[in-house]
Structure 1
Amino acid sequence: MEAVPFRVLQAATPYESLRKLPAVAALDNIRSLHNVGAFFRTADAAGLESLLLGGYTGAPPHPGVAKVALGAQDSLPWKHAGDLAAELSARRESGWQIAGVETVATSVDLYDWVPQFPLCVVFGNEVEGLSETVKEACDVYVRIPMLGVKQSLNVSVAGGVVLFELLRKYRRMLEAAAGRRPA
C-alpha cells in the first residue's frame, strides 16, 4: 500500500519545494548534550540555515552530541559564539529579528507571533532559561501556550514546537506572497 500524506496538498506549497528558512536557532548555555544533538536534528528537519551555540553549550564533535544528532551535525552549518549576546546584537543591528523563547510579562503567544525575517530564535538553559545579557539582546519574547500545571517543556521539545510552527508560518507567508490561499 502506498503511503498517503496526512492531507492532500492541492493548493499548498509542498515542503520539499521551500528554500531554507531565513532563520537560525541559538542555544544559550544548554547543558545537556542530548538536547544539543536533538536541536541539530530538529533544526535540520525544519530547514533552518544554521545553529549558533553559545556559552558552555556542547558542540560537535563531542560523542554525546553526535549520538543524538545522527549526522545532522555534519550537514547543518553551526558556529560557537563565545559571547552569544554580542553575536545576537550584531545580527539585530544588521536587520535580524531576535526572538527569545521565554515566558515573561511581555511574551507574545507563539501562535499570535508574526515573525520577521531574517530571524534568530534563542532557546535558554534547561533550568535558568535565557541569561540576562541574552535577554537584553532580544527584540521580542515568545511563549508556548501550555495547559498543564508545570508550564514547562524540555528545551529540545520546545525547540521542535517553535521551529515547526515557524516553518508553518513561513510557508503561509510564501503562499500569501504568491497570491495563493493557504491550505
Structure 2
Amino acid sequence: MDATAIARNQELQRQWYGAPLGELCRELCDRFGTTQSALAETLGISPAMLSLVMRGQRARIANPDAAARLSAVLHLAQEVRAGTVPAADASLALAEIRASRTPGQDSMGVAVTPHRAGYDGPADPDPDLRFALRLRELLTGRASAVDILAAAALLEADHPGLAEVLRVCGAGRTDEAVALVRASGR
C-alpha cells in the first residue's frame, strides 16, 4: 500500500476517532497494561487485522461487533482517565466488553427478537430496554459504529442532544442507552 493511501486512511481515522488508530491503540495498551494481541482479542479481531488498522493499511474495523467493542474500550479509557471508573475495575470492564456483541444482533448481524433469542417471559419485560435495543438495531442496521460516531462528531456543535443519542444508543453501552431513554421520559 502506498504512502498516500495510508495517509488518507489515517486522516479518516482522525475524523472518525479523533486520532489515528495506531496512536489510540498504543495508548489503550499502555493504559490497560495489555498487549496488542490481547487488545485484538478484546475487540474480537485477529492481531493481524488490528495491526493493519494501526498501520493505516485499513481505515476502519468493518466488523460491527468489533467496532462497537473498540468504541466501548475507548469510552472505558476516557472513564478511567476521568476517574469515573477506578483503574482497578478496568480489567473486569474489558472482560465484559470482550464478551459483548452488538445488542439486538446475533454474531452474523441478524436481528434477534425475544422469540429467536429463546425468551419465554412476558412480551415486554422492560420497555425501555426494548426501545433502546430497537433503536440500536435501527442505527446499526444502517451504519457501522464507526460511522455513527463520525456522524455524532459532525452534529456535536450544532445539535449536541442528537449527537448524544447517536453516540450512546448507536455505539455506546446498553445500560447507558437505557438510562438515556429513561431520562428522556419516553
Structure with the bigger RCO (C-alpha within 8 Å, sep 6+) is: 1
TM over 0.5: no
TM-score normalized by the length of structure 2: 0.28
Greater strand share, structure number: 1
TM-score normalized by the length of structure 1: 0.28
